[in-house]
Structure 1
Amino acid sequence: MFTRRSVVLASVAASVMMSNRNARATASQPSTPVNFDVPAGATDCHTHIHGDPTKFPFFPGRVYTPELASPEEMSALHKALHIERVVIVTPSVYGPDNSATLFGMKARGATARGVAVIDDKTPESDLDAMNQAGFRGIRLNLATGGTSDPNVGRQRFQTAVDRVKSRNWHVQMFTSLAMISAIKDLVAASPVPVVFDHFGGALGELGPEQPGFADLLELVRSGKAYVKISGAYRASKLAPDYPDVVPLARALIAANSDRIVWGSDWPHPNSTTPPGKKPTDLTPLFQIDDGRLFNQLPVWAPDAAIRKKILVDNPAGLYGF
């Protein structure tokens, strides 16, 4: 539930956003009202915070540099969408530094959870502290870095599982269907939950018959994997409603609605540096109408009881709300 402080912050963020719209680009805010009843305790399971780089410096090895996105802007977003809970994921631009994510979690309080990025130098004491702060998983981003070698993917996945198997954490992956097929046996045997971002990397234009999608469905059906039906604009070029994503979403939900969660992917970073630009140059955020995007959920899941699972019950179990 939003506190008085969070509502005030959301109002301030909205006014700042409007006054600064011409001064600098800002993260998008919904322009379309939500057209369905959002259940109490609804969760946005995929967001990022891009903090002031003087306080939260970007990773030198990053492949893009995003515009800023603050906790106050995120509160304004969720107030408009009637969403109470949030999962903040450390983006690749920070490497294994989770400070900006923690900053966003602290601003949100008890309604926030985090997913961290770590490396082999991250000590167990840091994982202990992150667990205490509300982190509930680690993310492997194989997509932004362009990792497609199955041997590398298998090794990194197994290392991640080994780091979290003694905790009540999960492994989250941003990758391709080809990689999911290559590690399918490891996922099936994993002692910890596995969560795939953004439709598992499936593409709307290729439909449910595309290579690898059946493997993803099998993992979901067996309960061994969760999928975030998030970032539809990454799976489809058919803005603003992404109709070719509908068969993918419905197939995943039909496979096992207990293993599906929803995320906005706010503030919608563009991880592809434009031609002629350097990774250290600012790349504008995608301007996505999150209200219209959220309104696709009843198209994907017409049953209100199923939507409650996706928005409330499944995230509560996975992230420990």
Structure 2
Amino acid sequence: MGLNPNNAPLCQAPDQALKKPGLVLCKNATDCHAHICGPQSLYPYIANRIYTPPDALLPHYEALLDALGVQRSVLVQPSIYGTDNRALLAAIQKNPSRFRGVAVVDWDISDTALEDLHLAGIRGVRCNIVDLAEAKGVLPISQLSALANKIAPFGWHLEFLMHVNEFPDLAQLLSNFPVPVVLGHLGYLKTNLGVKDRGFQNLLSLMREERAWVKLTGPYRITSEARVPYADTNPFAHALIAANPRQVVWGTDWPHVMVKGVMPNDADLVDLLQEWVPDATLRRQVLSENPERLYQFEGDA
């Protein structure tokens, strides 16, 4: 597999302890953001990557979900695989009622290939403009618009990993998109920028207009604090919920690639929901009802 062809740094492994959170989650609670990495012997990472995670495999992840009280999951294609979705699709196939997926595809993908992905459980396409070796921070609007028109008949969405503070004109850029957009990591702006940041405020406007969704994920990626509870993320989570609770989902971000400080335990991340979404009715909406709409889950997992 080649350990580090481009000196892509090795990531620390996730916390292996399977703790139960203090918060008891609702029926059909859904982790809307996790990655399967490996096994590298079957699914090697691309050479042009910026990090090298250890194998993070489905059996441990399913055990983690069970410990957390999470019934459903959305697996998201990590940048280490480019457009090779084999590991993602293999994981979904193991338990199709429990899993949905967000893939990365070529711009010129055919309608037939999209239909095959839909049948395999894919419900969206990811555009990551952060974890790149080249063209970082560039939003290819014309290509994204064309792709959005291709995926619209399937009821899919486009998921962006981007820093909203770098795109204060995001609403204008996305004005003609025929599909919803989903943004990760609470908008992925550092907490020291504050909730009044223009890009974050425009994101809130997009949510009010039901043009954008946001994932409550990866608080350790935006905080200035070293460990949970990452209290400086609370105003951002509260603002997102207040803007439109129907447009918010939650996820663990397991296996927490590229965490350089203290690795959080996933049970502690679940318990952040008690502060982020203290109302039980809204929490059920975020954890169960919203994911069911966005990812087209059917019945119980």
Match of 2:171 in 1: 184
User: Which whole-Å CA distance do the structure 2 matches of 1:60 and 1:124 have between them?
Assistant: 28
- CA drift of 1:116 comes to 0.3
C-alpha distance after superposition, 1:73-132 (max 9, x if no partner):
111110111000000000001000101111211223311000000113533322111100
Match of 1:218 in 2: 205
Alignment equivalent of 1:309, drawn from 264, 280, 285: 285
Match of 2:8 in 1: none
C-alpha distance after superposition, 1:198-257 (max 9, x if no partner):
111122222212231110110011111000010111111311210000000000000000
User: Which whole-Å CA distance do the structure 2 matches of 1:123 and 1:311 have between them?
Assistant: 33
The 10-residue stretch of structure 1 (55-64 or 246-255) with the greater mean CA deviation from structure 2: 55-64
Preserved CA contact (<8 Å) 1:199 1:228: yes
Match of 2:9 in 1: none
Q: Secondary structure at the match of 1:75?
A: helix
1:62 aligns with 2:38: no
Preserved CA contact (<8 Å) 1:30 1:80: no
User: Which whole-Å CA distance do the structure 1 matches of 2:129 and 2:13 have between them?
Assistant: 27
C-alpha distance after superposition, 1:58-86 (max 9, x if no partner):
11222222111000011111011100000
- CA drift of 1:30 comes to 4.8
- TM-score norm. by structure 2 comes to 0.88
Q: Hey, which of these two has a bigger chunk of helix by percent?
A: 1
1:263 aligns with 2:263: no
User: Which whole-Å CA distance do the structure 1 matches of 2:75 and 2:217 have between them?
Assistant: 13
- Is the alpha carbon distance of 1:209 and 1:30 closer, same or farther for their aligned partners in structure 2, counting shifts above 3 Å? farther
- Is the alpha carbon distance of 1:46 and 1:28 closer, same or farther for their aligned partners in structure 2, counting shifts above 3 Å? same
Matches within 5 A, 1:62-101: 62-101=49-88
User: Which whole-Å CA distance do the structure 1 matches of 2:17 and 2:240 have between them?
Assistant: 26
Gaps (5+ residues) in structure 1?
1-24, 272-283
User: Which whole-Å CA distance do the structure 2 matches of 1:41 and 1:310 have between them?
Assistant: 11
Match of 2:4 in 1: none
Match of 2:273 in 1: 297
C-alpha distance after superposition, 1:44-64 (max 9, x if no partner):
000000011121121122222
Amino acid across the alignment from 1:53: Q
Alignment equivalent of 2:223, drawn from 229, 236, 239: 236
User: Which whole-Å CA distance do the structure 2 matches of 1:47 and 1:92 have between them?
Assistant: 12
Alignment equivalent of 1:202, drawn from 189, 192, 202: 189
How many residue pairs align between the two structures?
A: 283
Match of 2:137 in 1: 148
Amino acid across the alignment from 1:37: V
**RMSD (Å) for aligned C-alpha atoms:** 1.9
- Is the alpha carbon distance of 1:51 and 1:113 closer, same or farther for their aligned partners in structure 2, counting shifts above 3 Å? same
Identity of aligned residues (%): 35
C-alpha distance after superposition, 1:122-173 (max 9, x if no partner):
3332211110011000000011126224xx4423432331331222110000
User: Which whole-Å CA distance do the structure 2 matches of 1:63 and 1:156 have between them?
Assistant: 23
Amino acid across the alignment from 2:229: D
